[in-house]
Structures are given as structure tokens and as C-alpha cells.
């Protein structure tokens, strides 16, 4: 033994770091963040432990200010056992009831932490996250390509539509809201004129006729328009058999969304700006959406996203998550998609950042022929390639700097 550890001391050390069933006894020692700007802002969260294991999570969209919020969570997390993910999540949520923990930045910050905890649990127990969520219904998760086009009639479409097909995607999305439409009469009011509605329909028609019949087409209005416009557009695009029309009106007025949904044969999709189970309960109860699309990098996390999916299943509503993050957050989302019965399709939104997408994690390209195969590696199952990721670091921000206090 060389005198380093006596046998009783060694036995005590093993006992202190594991349970009789080899369950690791972990303690959180630090939480750090890094911010990258790709499709909007993403906050990456790392949770460190006393045994060298590190969990990694990612949050987005309502991410401005979340690095400071994550720092404020340290006092609830340091010294705690990271394996009790739901309990830690509930402690942080209830701690913030008077600090905005009903949605927005607070829940987005909590989401990044929750995903890092799941990654940590998987690494500690040597299991992929889908296995921790109850196992998988499918090996492969179907992805759709958001085409991120300014003008679906122009040269950009001529370049992107063949690219989307040749990369094996079986579904895609276009945006039809347009602040600079010359047929708009008012810069503030969003009641679309006949000219605007004709332009929207022509974009849908042209795209539908430019892609194979088998490829599904989703269309996004970004919740910008008002109720009469939403209703008219939903009815006008009925001949094109869309996969869905996304947020023809903002999601806050559930009755307005329900009115549009019940007035049209076009399936209505909603939910990228709703938070936690409470955000989806009324939407589902009033049958205001045919399809829901929580964003798992802001809805509250992987466990919360799965609970929302299970709630939707009781209404026979499919789950098609919004997803605009790096391969780390996308793969975390894929684990949830594999673990629920009512998964439809998941978003991929980095078509304008393909080189960074393919180098952001050490595993390289994770989407093969339009699908992600959930890996059997522990945790999320992908590891950041720091050199590539730092190309998108937000200037003036730290990169997983140790906490000072
Ligand atoms: Mg959208």
C-alpha cells in the first residue's frame, strides 16, 4: 500500500463515496456558465461535483440575464446530491415564486440547470437520459428543417430546398409573417390586408409545389397577427394540407387560439413561449391547439417537457418540440422525444450555421438522413468541442469561469 491508505481507511473511503449498491454519493461543488450567440442567445450550464463528474445543460430564447440567475441558484445547489433532479428543480422553482418563477428568464435559467443535472445523473449511473426517463419508444427521432428564409420565392429557396431534400429531411418549415410587406397599411397594427394574405398564400403554394408530395410542410406566423387575420390565413392555406400552421395569433389568449383552431381544417400548433405544465393546461383543456411545441431549453427542462408531453397525450395531442439550440440541447431534447409515445417531429434550426453545427460537439454531425439516433452513451451523450463553440462566444462574457464566492 506504500503507506498511502491503510486498508480500513480505504474501505471507509469507498463506503463514503458509494452506497452498498454502488450508487455514487455525489455533491455539487460549483455551477458555471458560458454564453454563445448563434440562433439568438444560448446559455450553457456546467455543474461540477466532488467526484470529478460534470453535467452540461443548455437554455435559450429567454436567456438574457440567465447567467446571473444561475449564479443566484448556487446557494440552493452547492453541497446537494445532484441525483435528486426533480426535488432540486422544485426547490429552485418555489424559491422564485416572488421572483418571476412563473416563466421567462427564471424558468429558462432553471431549465439549463435541470438539463445539466440529468446529464450528470446519466454519467453517474452510466445510463443514457432516455433510459432514466423510462426507456425509449423509438431509436430514431424525426427532425424537421426550419428553412430560415427571408424570401421563399427567391434564390435562397432555390439553394435551400434541394439541400433540405438531399440531407434526408422529411419535413420542413417556412415563415410567412413579414414586417416589411409593402401591402401593409400600418406599421403597428397586424391586421393583414388582402395583398398580404395573397403574398402569404403564394409563399405556401410555391413551397408546397417545389418539394416532394411526401415532405411535410409547416408554416409559422410567429404569433404576430390578430384574430381575424389568423382565421383568414388558416382557412386560405387549407388546400395545401400543412403539417401545421404555427401561432397565427399570440398564445396568451387561449380562447382566441381556440376560435381559430375550431374554424379551420388546418392543424394549429402552439407553445414555444409557454412554460411548464401550467402553461399548457388551459391550452389543452380548451382544445386550442392540434399540436403542441414546447421548447425544452426553456419550458422547465427535460422532466418538465416530458410531463407536458404526457399531459398532451391525455388529450390525444402530439408533441413537436421547438428547438433552436446546439447539438447539446438538441440531443437532450431527442432523449425526451424518444421517451414519449406522442412524439411527432422535432425542429432543427441551424441551416444558416451548418459548419458550426457539425463541429460544435466532438461527435460531429448528429442528424443522419433527417433523423437523430439517441445514443447509448451516459447522460446526453455528446461532448462540446470547446474550440468550435468558442467561435460563437458572446464577446465580453466569461467561459465557465469558476465561481468567486
Ligand atoms: Mg415559431
Q: Answer yes or no: do 136 and 94 share one domain.
A: no
Give the distance between the most distant pair of CA atoms in the chain: 86
Could you give the C-alpha distances from 16 to 22, 26, 27, 51, 152, in angstroms and in order?
Answer: 11, 10, 12, 12, 61
Is 109 a member of any domain?
Answer: yes
Q: Answer yes or no: do 77 and 209 share one domain.
A: no
Supply the pLDDT for residue 119.
98
Q: Answer yes or no: do 245 and 115 share one domain.
A: no
Q: Answer yes or no: do 232 and 322 share one domain.
A: yes
Answer for the pair 247, 267: CB distance below 8 angstroms, yes or no.
no
Answer for the pair 81, 50: CB distance below 8 angstroms, yes or no.
no
- Single residue among 69, 93, 126 that ends a domain in this structure: 126
Centre of ligand 1 to C-alpha 164, Å, is 19
3-state SS, residue 261: helix
**pLDDT tens digits, 105-162:** 999 999 999 999 999 999 999 999 999 999 999 999 999 999 999 999 999 999 999 9
Centre of ligand 1 to C-alpha 290, Å, is 15
**pLDDT tens digits, 1-35:** 444 567 777 767 666 677 767 777 899 999 999 99
Centre of ligand 1 to C-alpha 26, Å, is 39
Centre of ligand 1 to C-alpha 162, Å, is 23
Is 233 a member of any domain?
Answer: yes
Q: Answer yes or no: do 151 and 117 share one domain.
A: no
Centre of ligand 1 to C-alpha 160, Å, is 19
Centre of ligand 1 to C-alpha 327, Å, is 19
Q: Answer yes or no: do 320 and 239 share one domain.
A: yes
Centre of ligand 1 to C-alpha 17, Å, is 46
Answer for the pair 112, 119: CB distance below 8 angstroms, yes or no.
no
Supply the pLDDT for residue 1.
41
Answer for the pair 268, 243: CB distance below 8 angstroms, yes or no.
no
Q: Which residues pair with 12 in a beta bridge?
A: none
Centre of ligand 1 to C-alpha 245, Å, is 10
Q: Answer yes or no: do 300 and 164 share one domain.
A: yes
DSSP state of 226: -
Calculate the CA 177 to chain-centre distance: 22
Q: How many domains does the chain have?
A: 2
Answer for the pair 225, 249: CB distance below 8 angstroms, yes or no.
yes
Q: Which residues pair with 40 in a beta bridge?
A: 38
- For 173-188, letters b (16+ CB in 10 Å) and e give bbbbbbeeeeebeeee
3-state SS, residue 259: helix
Q: Answer yes or no: do 278 and 360 share one domain.
A: yes
- What is the distance between the alpha carbons of residues 285 and 79, in angstroms, rounded to a whole number? 40
Is 231 a member of any domain?
Answer: yes
pTM: 0.95
Is 15 a member of any domain?
Answer: no
Centre of ligand 1 to C-alpha 272, Å, is 7
Is 14 a member of any domain?
Answer: no
Q: Answer yes or no: do 288 and 145 share one domain.
A: yes
> What is the CATH number for 87?
3.30.390.10
> What is the CATH number for 339?
3.20.20.120
Supply the pLDDT for residue 2.
45
Q: Answer yes or no: do 179 and 104 share one domain.
A: no
Centre of ligand 1 to C-alpha 323, Å, is 9
Centre of ligand 1 to C-alpha 222, Å, is 5
- What is the distance between the alpha carbons of residues 112 and 16, in angstroms, rounded to a whole number? 29
Q: Per residue of the chain (405 residues), give pLDDT as tens.
A: 444 567 777 767 666 677 767 777 899 999 999 999 999 999 999 999 999 999 999 999 999 999 999 999 999 999 999 999 999 999 999 999 999 999 999 999 999 999 999 999 999 999 999 999 999 999 999 999 999 999 999 999 999 999 999 999 999 999 999 999 999 999 999 999 999 999 999 999 999 999 999 999 999 999 999 999 999 999 999 999 999 999 999 999 999 999 999 999 999 999 999 999 999 999 999 999 999 999 999 999 999 999 999 999 999 999 999 999 999 999 999 999 999 999 999 999 999 999 999 999 999 999 999 999 999 999 999 999 999 999 999 999 999 999 875
Based on the number of CB atoms within 10 Å of its own CB, is 120 exposed (0-12), middle (13-18) or buried (19 or more)?
Answer: buried
Sheet of strand 54-60: strand arrangement: 28-38, 40-49, 54-60
Is 210 a member of any domain?
Answer: yes
Centre of ligand 1 to C-alpha 77, Å, is 33
Is 111 a member of any domain?
Answer: yes
Provide the domain limits for residue 50. Answer: 23-126
Centre of ligand 1 to C-alpha 244, Å, is 11
Q: Answer yes or no: do 376 and 250 share one domain.
A: yes
- Single residue among 126, 161, 186 that ends a domain in this structure: 126
Calculate the CA 117 to chain-centre distance: 16
Q: Answer yes or no: do 49 and 159 share one domain.
A: no
Cell numbers representing residue 395 in the block? 464577446
Centre of ligand 1 to C-alpha 129, Å, is 26
Is 16 a member of any domain?
Answer: no
Centre of ligand 1 to C-alpha 90, Å, is 28
Based on the number of CB atoms within 10 Å of its own CB, is 172 exposed (0-12), middle (13-18) or buried (19 or more)?
Answer: buried
Amino acid at each position: 500500500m506504500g503507506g498511502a491508505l491503510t486498508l480500513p481507511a480505504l474501505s471507509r473511503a469507498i463506503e463514503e463515496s458509494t452506497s452498498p449498491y454502488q450508487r455514487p454519493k455525489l455533491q455539487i461543488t460549483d455551477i458555471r456558465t458560458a454564453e454563445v450567440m448563434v440562433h439568438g442567445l444560448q446559455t450553457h450550464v456546467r455543474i461540477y461535483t466532488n467526484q470529478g463528474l460534470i453535467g452540461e445543460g443548455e437554455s435559450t430564447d429567454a436567456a438574457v440575464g440567465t447567467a446571473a440567475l444561475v449564479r443566484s441558484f448556487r446557494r440552493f445547489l452547492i453541497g446537494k446530491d445532484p441525483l435528486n433532479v426533480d426535488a432540486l428543480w422544485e426547490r429552485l422553482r418555489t424559491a422564485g415564486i416572488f421572483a418571476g418563477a412563473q416563466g421567462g428568464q427564471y424558468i429558462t435559467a432553471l431549465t439549463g440547470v435541470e438539463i445539466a443535472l440529468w446529464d450528470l445523473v446519466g454519467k453517474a449511473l452510466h445510463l443514457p437520459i432516455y433510459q432514466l426517463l423510462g426507456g425509449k419508444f423509438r431509436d430514431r427521432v424525426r427532425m424537421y428543417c426550419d428553412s430560415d428564409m427571408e424570401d421563399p420565392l427567391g434564390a435562397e429557396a432555390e439553394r435551400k430546398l434541394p439541400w433540405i431534400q438531399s440531407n434526408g429531411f422529411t419535413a420542413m418549415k417556412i415563415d410567412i409573417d413579414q414586417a416589411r410587406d409593402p401591402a401593409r397599411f400600418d406599421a403597428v397594427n397586424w391586421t393583414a390586408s388582402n395583398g398580404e394574405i395573397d403574398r402569404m398564400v403564394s409563399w405556401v403554394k410555391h413551397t408546397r409545389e417545389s418539394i416532394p408530395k411526401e415532405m411535410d410542410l409547416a408554416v409559422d406566423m410567429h404569433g404576430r397577427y390578430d384574430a381575424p387575420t389568423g382565421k383568414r390565413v388558416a382557412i386560405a392555406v387549407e388546400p395545401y394540407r400543412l403539417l401545421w400552421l404555427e401561432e397565427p395569433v399570440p398564445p396568451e389568449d387561449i380562447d382566441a387560439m381556440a376560435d381559430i383552431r375550431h374554424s379551420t381544417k388546418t392543424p394549429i400548433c402552439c407553445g414555444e413561449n409557454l412554460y411548464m405544465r401550467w402553461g399548457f393546461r388551459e391550452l389543452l383543456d380548451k382544445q386550442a391547439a392540434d399540436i403542441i411545441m414546447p421548447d425544452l431549453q426553456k419550458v422547465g427542462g427535460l422532466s418538465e417537457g416530458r410531463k407536458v408531453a404526457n399531459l398532451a397525450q391525455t388529450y390525444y395531442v402530439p408533441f413537436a418540440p421547438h428547438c433552436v439550440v446546439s447539438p447539446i440541447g438538441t440531443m437532450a431534447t431527442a432523449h425526451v422525444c424518444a421517451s414519449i409515445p406522442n412524439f411527432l417531429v422535432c425542429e432543427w434550426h441551424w441551416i444558416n450555421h451548418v459548419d458550426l453545427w457539425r463541429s460544435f460537439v466532438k461527435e460531429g454531425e448528429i442528424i443522419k438522413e433527417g433523423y437523430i439516433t439517441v445514443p447509448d452513451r451516459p447522460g446526453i451523450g455528446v461532448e462540446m468541442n470547446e474550440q468550435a463553440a468558442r467561435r460563437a462566444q458572446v464577446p465580453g462574457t466569461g467561459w465557465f469561469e469558476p465561481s468567486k464566492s
